[in-house]
Amino acid sequence: MILNRAVIWGALALTAVMSRCGGEDTVADHVAAYGAFFFQSYGSSGQYIHEFDGDEEFYVDLNKKETVWRLPLFSEFRSFDPQGALTNIATGKYNLGILTKDPNSTTAVNKVPEVTVFPKSPVMLGEPNTLVCAVDNIFPPVINVTWLSNGHAVTEGVFETSFLSKNDHSFLKISYLTFLPSADDVYDCRVEHWGLDGPLLKHWEPEIPAPMSELTETVVCALGLAVGLVGIVVGTVLIIQGLRPGGTSTHQGPL
């Protein structure tokens, strides 16, 4: 893919609730990005999002011109007019047009994304679960993340977040796949990005304990039998000792 990878990244507001941690050092208990947006020349695409502690609250669908809440419940407590997002995106697009005409402008440097795949919950065969594909260190924010099951593309039960912003101006995107763990199925998260030489496949399959061999079963049974026999012998000896005359001492009191 050939493209001028210039990207404009902006944030209308960045708030942090701070707490003292000795001397003048401070640490952020909570961080919210309100109005984080970007616009890029590739496909004339962009994004407008609100985040809290690295989680998406909502994003604005620039095509449908509507606010999409990460959880529908959030919309019951607050609202957001998407027109404000569209205005910021338009401003970013205009500024990008000016910057790309500057002879001193440079294209963005492609970063190599880092991919991790793991189950959301401990895996039990036959119990519904969710696979998580976390793609970190994304820049520029143009990427394809798809799922494969036994080598075939999967689209049902797939959900992914928007691009989540990071302090170093790279991005994180998370893709989810709901599935039913089976010993016969394997999965791959396929990632395509300019920072990679080619599509990257991150493999995952359920870890199933290897069946016990016949020799192991024989040894375990023999050990169990031996322990049982020892217990019987020891118990028999103790009973015999208890039945012998004088085995127990008695003290006769005065008449």
pLDDT at position 232 over 50: yes
Q: What are the pLDDT digits (tens) for 98-115? A: 888 888 877 778 999 999
pLDDT at position 120 over 80: yes
Q: How much is the mean pLDDT over the chain? A: 79
Contacts of 11 (CB under 8 A, 6+ apart): 33, 34, 35, 36, 37, 165
- Does residue 137 contact residue 37 with C-beta atoms inside 8 Å? no
Please tell me the predicted confidence (pLDDT) of residue 26.
55
What's the rounded Cα separation, in Å, for the pair 113 and 96?
A: 25
Please tell me the predicted confidence (pLDDT) of residue 9.
42
Cis peptide before 140 (omega within 30 of 0): yes
More confident residue, 137 or 6: 137
Q: How many residues would you count in the chain? A: 255
Which tokens go with 122? 């401990």
Q: What is the mean pLDDT of residues 74-98?
A: 86
b/e per residue, 177-197, with b = 16+ CB within 10 A? bebebeeeeebbbbbebbbee
- Percent of the chain with pLDDT strictly greater than 70: 75
Q: What are the pLDDT digits (tens) for 2-52? A: 334 434 444 333 333 322 334 445 566 777 776 677 777 676 678 888 888
* ∠ CA 146-150-154, rounded to 5°: 35
pLDDT at position 143 over 90: yes
What's the rounded Cα separation, in Å, for the pair 17 and 135?
A: 28
pLDDT grade for 207, boundaries at 50, 70 and 90: confident
Please tell me the predicted confidence (pLDDT) of residue 54.
74
Please tell me the predicted confidence (pLDDT) of residue 169.
86
Please tell me the predicted confidence (pLDDT) of residue 8.
40
pLDDT at position 66 over 70: yes
Other CB atoms within 10 Å distance of the CB of residue 160: 16
pLDDT grade for 149, boundaries at 50, 70 and 90: very high
Please tell me the predicted confidence (pLDDT) of residue 117.
97
pLDDT grade for 246, boundaries at 50, 70 and 90: low
pLDDT grade for 156, boundaries at 50, 70 and 90: very high
pLDDT at position 174 over 60: yes
pLDDT at position 164 over 60: yes
